Every structure is written in structure tokens, then in C-alpha cells.
Amino acid sequence: MTTGQRWLEGYIRAWASKDPADVRAIFTDDAEYRFRPDDPEPVRGIDAIVRMWGEPESPNPRHDLRVLIEDERLAIITGTVVYPDHASYVNLWEVHLADDGRAQRFVEWFMTPPDAGDD
């Protein structure tokens, strides 16, 4: 299993559990989390990331995520996330990896797909 795949599995575990230990296992103490590439106020530091991950979100999200490409310092993850009765997203994530495999910088690129009824 690759570092990127291990990180993605840890992300999915932390997302489901919301357990601070699971979140700390995938982000470095000085990590930066950007919700979009031009995010003017990224979430900085593991304590802030843990707090952000503890905030309520739409229940029961479905996801189809996979590592698209990676090297020893960067994993690019792509896929979809659907929050029933809320929104759907097409994602591309930059995961900048530290030597220990945790994310030191995380950047979301996401789009909301057009509604199928908008043809």
C-alpha cells in the first residue's frame, strides 16, 4: 500500500469517527488545511484542525475517493462526495506529505456538479 493510500484510508477513518486521535494521525502539528486553493484564512495547526473536524456536518456522506497520482511528498486524490439532502461535490485534493506520511498541507479543489435536471 502506498503512502497516499494509507493517508486516504486514515482520512476516511477520521472523517467517520471524528476522533481527535484519528485526525491527529493524518495531520502534522503545524498542518495547514485549505478549503480551496485561494483560501485567505486556512485552518492552521492540529488543534484548530481537530476543532474544525468536530463541527457538525450533514449526516451519512457517501464518497468514492482514490489516489490519482503521488510521489514521496505529494498525493493527488480525486473522487466524489455526496451529502444526501444537501450537496454533491467533485473533488481534487492536494495532500502535501511530511516524512512521516501525515499531511503538512491539505488543499481542496471542489466543484458542485450541475443538476441532472438542468439539461
> What confidence tens digit (pLDDT) does each residue in 42-100 have?
999 999 999 999 988 888 889 999 999 999 999 999 999 998 888 899 999 999 999 99
**Taking the domains of the chain in order of start, what are their residue ranges?**
3-112
Strand segments, DSSP code E, in the chain are 27-34, 43-44, 62-70, 74-83, 87-97, 103-111
Q: Which three cell numbers stand for residue 69?
A: 497520482
Q: Which three cell numbers stand for residue 55?
A: 463541527
Its sign, for the CA torsion 30, 14, 78, 98, is: positive
Fold of 3-112: Nuclear Transport Factor 2; Chain: A, (3.10.450)
| This prediction's pTM | 0.90
* Residue 32 to residue 43: CA distance in whole angstroms: 6
